[in-house]
A and B are shown apart, each in its own frame.
Chain A
């Protein structure tokens, strides 16, 4: 039956069949390429290992800076409150040493932040490659929480700290109030 049908097909039908086969092969190639790009993204590794690591490291940085700030401030407050007298010098040295010790947080937090920066650079490279491969375009966000956050930020001008190069300086602000 199929043999009989092929014998009766027209040149136009043959052309259409060839086009469909060609299109399907292109789609199959695209899917294979996409699977390779998705694999190169290593999304599971990101969500399983590196993003939790970044959360953990930044949490540690936050705790270390808060702890160091509290120790430094407590020592400074104790210094201000020191009564004059023979015991003043040893007490002063003790509090100053506490401040020096507390400043050691910077070394460790610097190393932790470097790990997070490395992870972010890796994500950026992988995402750049993926965006290029799929020619991705951003859709409008439908996340209500994110939309509410953006609306609040716009309404109340929650711009956050600015880069020093573009931030308005205290001198410029003072000029506005002069």
Chain B
């Protein structure tokens, strides 16, 4: 499945090691344009300034969670079509269902591997 490797990706996680892991995995997949933010508020500010081809977000962050970020993005006319993948340790079914209802495109449970990340990106962004 063809992926646009030039599309900018925003990684949102308050744990810098996880940002580093995802950055490295994305780099291995060929993505070079990767920005990061440490919570939903910072992510929204970045999204207002740049159009991203994909958002990969954690759930549990302060002050704005990834779930709130997702709802903000889907409620914003200019951002609502941005593909959004949740990458989180929140593995209760109610979380997955709530995220799906809020409009998430895919959901990855931590810990995950490169193959899972790749397949979800392909499923969401592949043409």
Contacts and interface: CB of A to CB of B under 8 A. Distances in A.
* Same complex: yes
Q: What are the 8 A-B residue pairs with the smallest beta carbon separation, nearest first?
A: A167-B91, A161-B89, A156-B65, A159-B92, A162-B91, A168-B93, A168-B91, A157-B95
Contacts of B95: 157, 159
A173 B96 contact: yes
Contacts of B82: none
B67 interface: yes
Contacts of A161: 89-91, 110
Contacts, number: 64
Determine chain A's interface SS by DSSP, over half rule.
helix
B17 A170 contact: no
Interface residues of B, number: 29
24 contacts: A69-B17, A73-B20, A80-B24, A156-B65, A156-B68, A157-B59, A157-B90, A157-B98, A158-B60, A159-B94, A159-B95, A160-B89, A161-B90, A162-B91, A167-B92, A167-B109, A169-B109, A170-B108, A170-B116, A172-B93, A176-B96, A176-B100, A176-B107, A177-B106
Interface in A132-178: 156-162, 167-170, 172-173, 176-177
Contacts of B5: none
A169 B92 CA distance: 9
Interface of B: 17, 20-21, 24, 28, 59-60, 65, 67-68, 89-98, 100, 106-110, 112, 116, 123
